[in-house]
Chains A and B, each alone.
Chain A
Amino acid sequence: LAKTTQPISMDSYEGQEVNITCSHNNIATNDYITWYQQFPSQGPRFIIQGYKTKVTNEVASLFIPADRKSSTLSLPRVSLSDTAVYYCLVGGSYNTDKLIFGTGTRLQVFP
């Protein structure tokens, strides 16, 4: 089964850059890497998705090394509203074995 490993929690201060790394050693050739953000009592929200190298959008960057066994979500300048749980999800092909959410990383941003 595809499995991801992330730090359980991280603390930061407003204005800092936050990098959250996810390990996915048994990623398959067809697997994409997707990151989601979840606030309490809400469904996850899509942040960013990538396959290799670097992807950037208006809210985050995603760095994926050549071996693709890990990925790093980078939030450039966090604010209090970025306090949430962040999940990385690997796969999504026609195999639901891949749709396994890990523990997620609980990010707490302080003023």
Chain B
Amino acid sequence: GAVVSQHPSRVICKSGTSVKIECRSLDFQATTMFWYRQFPKQSLMLMATSNEGSKATYEQGVEKDKFLINHASLTLSTLTVTSAHPEDSSFYICSAATDDYSNQPQHFGDGTRLSIL
């Protein structure tokens, strides 16, 4: 099956640090990638949708200057949490889909647990 690799799996850093998370589709071309955020015992919340070669589309309430998304190739998207603060601590998950994701499932990475001290 399709494999999505997310790195790093865990980050612990000081407040004010910027953190970059990578999401790679290893065996297929992902025209579209999604970034989710999940708090403990809660569901996944979509943060943004990124399409290769264009600007990301952010969901309402998600600060685009805070969460920078780059999707420079068909196999790589990055999420940078800028000047992270303790309230940004969460589990961040990416997923990838082909262009026609209306009838193809998303393939998820294993998530990045971000802890800001």
Contact = CB atoms under 8 A, between A and B. Distances in A.
A42 B59 contact: no
B108 interface: yes
Contacts, number: 62
Contacts of B43: 87, 101-104
Interface residues of A, number: 24
| Size bracket of the B interface | 20 to 34
B103 A96 contact: no
B75 interface: no
B93 A41 contact: no
Contacts of A87: 43-44
Interface centre among B6, B106, B107 (most CB of A within 10 A): B106
Contacts of A94: 102
B95 A43 contact: yes
B102 A30 contact: yes
Interface in A9-51: 30, 32, 34, 36, 41-46, 49, 51
Interface of B: 1, 4, 6, 34, 36, 43-46, 49, 57, 59, 91, 93-95, 97, 101-111, 113
Interface of A: 30, 32, 34, 36, 41-46, 49, 51, 87, 91-94, 96, 99-104
